[in-house]
Amino acid sequence: MAQTTPNHTQTVSGWAAHDTSGKITPFTFKRRENGVNDVTFKILYCGICHTDLHYAKNEWGITNYPVVPGHEMIGVITKVGSAVKGFKEGDRVGVGCLAATCLDCEHCNDDQENYCEKLQFSYNGVFWDGSITYGGYSSMMVADYRYVVHIPENLPMDAAAPLLCAGITVFSPLKDHDLVSSPGKKIGVVGLGGLGHIAVKFGKAFGHHVTVISTSPSKEAEAKQRLGADDFILSTNQQHLQSARRSLDFVLDTVSAEHSLLPLLELLKVNGTLFIVGAPDKPLQLPAFPLIFGKRSVKGGIIGGIKETQEMLDVCGKHNITCDIELITPDRINEAMERLAKNDVRYRFVIDIAGSSNN
């Protein structure tokens, strides 16, 4: 049953999962009236992140059904609250994973609200008014303007949508490790999916030597020819792994399922960093030897702050970076989810929300 909260009077059509089968069906629910700090926008496109799949099937054990997934939503503003700054009706905007934070802790004050302890996500979260948040697999969004970003005019909205989660999630660690403005490093990207393919594009745009580390032999030609990767390591091939030992400065791990960290750590030079953004449901084993013999670090991170998300979008505007997408109508969400689970997507499904008949 959809919850009811006073002031939530706007009827919205969307798509939700209702149980661990993860099956998505049309779902009607309520959103709040546009408040003084809110913008309302018509959602045109929404990416399908692997996180949506983890939630739809309750793989992390934290899903509250019904869940309306989607945190890569993009559209056009139809209403602006009286206290909103920097946005007007007609603007092309996006919302990613964040719906609310405390706005007052050290992380919020440092533009890293993604590390706020009171952070609430744009779906399966609880907003300030106590309502459950529903995501972007829906026809319209009401969002506090502090979690809304502008989409550069030169970027097509459908292919830009996945930047709102996948893009910022891989941009933020690159920025943190001085890999956005200092070229010439050797970086590895593990898992060539939604996150991974954007990481490759960023790595090349920022002047690095990029190696893709993948379980899929069929992705080698695409990685090199389409995405511009310099090298390709098949992670099931011991010889490939051996010959690349101690060659990389930084490795970004985007893998969504259980996998071994040992070979990835051994790819790093002394002092290198393995940065984990993929979120498998089972714990990964951390072997001590490659850490101590190589003074290597393992870190993780979640998305990025809103200011950084805007910066990332502006960088994408400047370099014309968008995602390689497969556009689908909402009636094909289940098919897309099944294909995503089978690692059969090049490289992000995006739902054409406004093109649906459900509006």
CA 16 to CA 9: how far, in whole Å? 19
Which of residues 101, 112, 133, 256 is near ligand NAP by CB under 6 A? 256
Least CB distance from residue 82 to ligand NAP, whole Å?
33
| Shortest-Cβ-distance residue relative to ligand NAP | 193
Task: Residue 136: name its binding partner from Zn ion, ligand NAP, none (Cβ under 5 to 8 Å by kind).
Answer: none
User: Residue 31 binds what, of ligand NAP, Zn ion, none (CB under 5 to 8 Å, by partner type)?
Assistant: none
69 lines the binding site for ligand NAP (CB under 6 A)? no
Query: Binding of ligand NAP at residue 66 (CB under 6 A)?
Result: no
- Residue 109 CB partners (closer than 8 Å, separation 6+): none
* Per CB under 6 A, 356 contacts ligand NAP: no
The least CB distance from residue 193 to ligand NAP, in Å, is 2
Q: What length does the chain have?
A: 359
**Listed ranges 47-55, 234-242, 294-302, 306-314: which one lies at the site for Zn ion (CB under 5 A):** 47-55
Q: How far apart are CA 27 and CA 54, in angstroms?
A: 19
Of 131 and 235, CB closest to ligand NAP:
235
| Nearer of residues 49 and 157 to Zn ion, judged by Cβ | 49
Residue 50 binding: pick among Zn ion, ligand NAP, none (C-beta 5-8 Å cut-off by kind) = ligand NAP
Residues within window 152-181 making contact with Zn ion, judged by CB under 5 A: 165
* Residue 58 C-beta: closest distance to ligand NAP, Å: 13
Question: What's phi and psi for 175, nearest 5 deg?
Answer: -65, -45
- For Zn ion, which residue of 43, 44, 49, 212 counts as binding (CB under 5 A)? 49
Applying CB under 6 A, does 296 fall inside the site for ligand NAP? no
Minimum CB distance to Zn ion, residue 51 (Å): 4
Phi-psi label, residue 115: left if phi above 0, alpha if psi -120 to 50, beta otherwise = alpha
Let me know: does 56 contact 9? Beta carbons within 8 Å. no
Q: Does the footprint of ligand NAP cover residue 5 (CB under 6 A)? A: no
Chain positions 182 to 211 lying near ligand NAP, rule: CB under 6 A, are 191-196
For 33, phi then psi, to 5°, come to: -65, 155
98 binds Zn ion (CB under 5 A): no
Residue nearest to Zn ion (CB): 49
Among 100, 165, 251, 316, binds ligand NAP (CB under 6 A): 165
Contacts of 52 (CB under 8 A, 6+ apart): 69, 70, 71, 135, 137, 337
By CB under 6 A, which span of 20-28, 139-147, 225-233, 271-279 interacts with ligand NAP?
271-279
Task: Give residues 122-161 in contact with ligand NAP (rule: CB under 6 A).
Answer: none
Angstrom distance (rounded) from CA 163 to CA 38: 22
Binding region for Zn ion (CB under 5 A): 49, 51, 165
Binding region for ligand NAP (CB under 6 A): 49-51, 54, 165-166, 169, 191-196, 214-216, 219, 254-257, 259, 277-279, 302-303, 340, 343
